[in-house]
Structure 1
Amino acid sequence: MIKDILKKYKHKMKYCVNLFLKSILKIRTGRISPNILNEIYIDYYGVKTLISKISNILVKDSNTLKINAFDNSLNKLIEKSIIKSNLGLNPIIVNNSIIVPIPSLTQERRQELLKLTKQESEKYKILIRNLRRDVNNLIKKKLKNKIISENEEKLFQKKNQNFTDFYIDEINNNFLKKEKEIMSL
């Protein structure tokens, strides 16, 4: 019973790490990537749709993305969505494509991106710690109701702490990788 609870919460902690990885993918590093546009939506005939689902996003050169919408009538909507995204990008419609020039990162912008990445890592570490707290409360409840012994309680809390430490370390390691990417020239 407790093992099932631990297993369930272990999966939730792993899911938090995956969400963290997904969230930092859109944070730009020194290398240009179509991933920075992954979380931008448009209103596509009344349905909120990702730009990546209705177009091809290509790396044109080291500082430019090129978007080819499957329906050229959507170019204006895509352009407006990119501008509203607060990514600091100014797309230009050229013929039937959208060109998105990506400015080089200044040291100041790198610091801002690093701060944003740090905030994301802290947010997901807090989620993992909250999961740990929930499990510990469930374990204490089982002890109080005499479903488990004190020795079992200590054992399960130790396992829970080990899971927590492992997934917090995962987030820290991925944060350090991202930090290195952001700060490299």
Structure 2
Amino acid sequence: MAAPDIKDIERRMDGAVETLRKEFGGLRTGRASASLLDPVHVDAYGSSVPLNQVANVSVPEPRLITVSVWDRTTVKAVEKAIREAGLGLNPQTEGQTIRVPIPELNQERRKELSKVAAKYSEEARVAVRNVRRDGMDRLKKMQKDGDLSEDELKVWSDKVQAMTDAHIKKIDEALAAKEKEIMQV
């Protein structure tokens, strides 16, 4: 019996949960943080690049992020990317420096951030389900090729499903914790 690569499936599911945690790290709850702009991608040089590849991001004070754009020609694109990133931020350009004031968290802003957190967690769930589907497809192929019996297919399928359920639970717990943090006044 050739065992399917369950470790690979688990590693990829862990990756989806880890990515979600990083995205949640970018959802600061009223304090400025350089990681707040991590999800921002800028259309520059003919492709979409992470913000940190076209500018320096710093936090000079608790409610302000400054973005020092390296190339003058990309300033407008960077400002547009920050404004359209769905983070509720309103950047102001001064030469090659973009000042991004962090708004006070009112109830409306908290609800917005909760929606963003929910969107991130749904993307993570989809990623985990895609890994499960991929794993199940590999199992079915192994069975079709004669490497797995019907019973072994059932056992491995159950393991993959249990792993999926555990990772979805981790995602839901992370979302609940983040929403609680966001809604805390």
TM-score range, shorter chain: 0.7 to 0.9
C-alpha contact 1:30 1:184 (8 A) present in aligned 2: no
Mapped partners of 2:117, 2:180: distance in 1: 11
**Counterpart amino acid of residue 153 in structure 2:** E
Residue of structure 1 in register with 2:27 after alignment? 27
Structure 1 residues 177, 8: closer, same or farther in 2, change over 3 A? same
**Counterpart amino acid of residue 69 in structure 1:** V
Residue of structure 1 in register with 2:178 after alignment? 178
C-alpha contact 1:63 1:103 (8 A) present in aligned 2: yes
CA shift at 1:48, angstroms? 3.8
> Which deviates the most, 87-96 or 142-151?
142-151
**Counterpart amino acid of residue 49 in structure 1:** V
Alignment of structure 1 residues 38-77 onto 2, 5 Å = 38-72=38-72, 74-77=74-77
CA shift at 1:46, angstroms? 4.1
Alignment of structure 1 residues 66-145 onto 2, 5 Å = 66-72=66-72, 74-94=74-94, 97-136=97-136, 138-139=138-139, 142=142
> Which deviates the most, 55-64 or 131-140?
131-140
CA shift at 1:50, angstroms? 2.7
- Determine helix, strand or coil for the equivalent of 1:67: strand
Structure 1 residues 121, 155: closer, same or farther in 2, change over 3 A? same
Mapped partners of 1:137, 1:74: distance in 2: 44
Give me the TM-score of the superposition, normalised by structure 1.
0.77
Q: Figure out how many residues of one structure are paired with residues of the other and give that number.
A: 185
Give me the TM-score of the superposition, normalised by structure 2.
0.77
C-alpha contact 2:70 2:96 (8 A) present in aligned 1: no
Structure 1 residues 98, 137: closer, same or farther in 2, change over 3 A? closer
Cα RMSD after superposing both structures:
3.0
1:56-78 Cα offsets, whole Å, 9 max, x none, are 21112221112223345644443
Alignment of structure 1 residues 1-20 onto 2, 5 Å = 3-20=3-20
**Counterpart amino acid of residue 66 in structure 2:** K
> Which deviates the most, 2-11 or 108-117?
2-11
CA shift at 1:137, angstroms? 5.2
- Determine helix, strand or coil for the equivalent of 1:4: coil
Identity of aligned residues (%): 35
Which consecutive residues of structure 2, in runs of 5 or more, have no partner in the other structure? none
Mapped partners of 1:88, 1:125: distance in 2: 24
Mapped partners of 1:142, 1:51: distance in 2: 43
**Counterpart amino acid of residue 4 in structure 1:** P
Determine which structure has more spread, i.e. the larger CA radius of gyration.
1
CA shift at 1:112, angstroms? 2.4
